[in-house]
Amino acid sequence: MTPARRQRLVLIAVMALGVAAAVGFALKAFQENLMFFFSPTEVVEGKAPQNAPFRLGGMVSDGSVKRGEGLKIQFTLHDYNKTVGVEYEGILPDLFREGQGIVALGRMNAHGQFVADEVLAKHDENYMPPEVKDALAKGQQAQNAGPAK
């Protein structure tokens, strides 16, 4: 093999390793930032991760909003089937209220409460995130079906 050919082969190998490393880093970053959506029913059934962030969506239960000290707030989310308690500390969106569809981003704590880092509310009367709409429809179907015999 001539020196020029060997030099080209080494250059191609280094470029291939660089591309492989870049793809590896991109996939790792994507995997770490991937956040799944779960309904309250799925959380109660244990399908949600215990030590990883995820999105929880549903309707804010009527009469469940309890304001604490400062910006602390507790409320429950439901999908017409199951209910999950949510803790949040921060400024809530202007459209947040009881009976409102929301999506909260956060993780479960050791006490079975969802600790939200961010709360998102729908932006007008006609819009609801597709994930929340699907979860609520499944919850209503399960509620209407009643307990299995």
> SS3 of 54, please?
strand
Say what percent of the chain tops pLDDT 90: 38
- What pLDDT shows up at residue 49? 83
d(CA 145, CA 81): 11
**CATH level 2 (architecture), domain 37-145:** Beta Barrel (2.40)
Is the pLDDT assigned to residue 83 strictly greater than 70?
A: yes
Is the pLDDT assigned to residue 4 strictly greater than 70?
A: yes
- What pLDDT shows up at residue 81? 87
Residue 106 is which amino acid? G
d(CA 20, CA 6): 21
Whether the CB-CB separation of 57 and 135 falls below 8 Å is answered with: yes
Residue 62 is which amino acid? D
> SS3 of 18, please?
helix
Query: What digits encode the pLDDT tens for the residues 28-63?
Result: 887 777 778 888 988 888 888 887 889 998 889 999
What residues does each domain of the chain span? Answer: 1-34, 37-145
Residue 142 is which amino acid? A
- What pLDDT shows up at residue 149? 44
Contacts of 60 (CB under 8 A, 6+ apart): 75, 76, 77, 96, 97, 98, 99, 100, 102
User: pTM for the full model?
Assistant: 0.66
Whether the CB-CB separation of 61 and 98 falls below 8 Å is answered with: yes
Query: What digits encode the pLDDT tens for the residues 128-139?
Result: 667 777 777 777
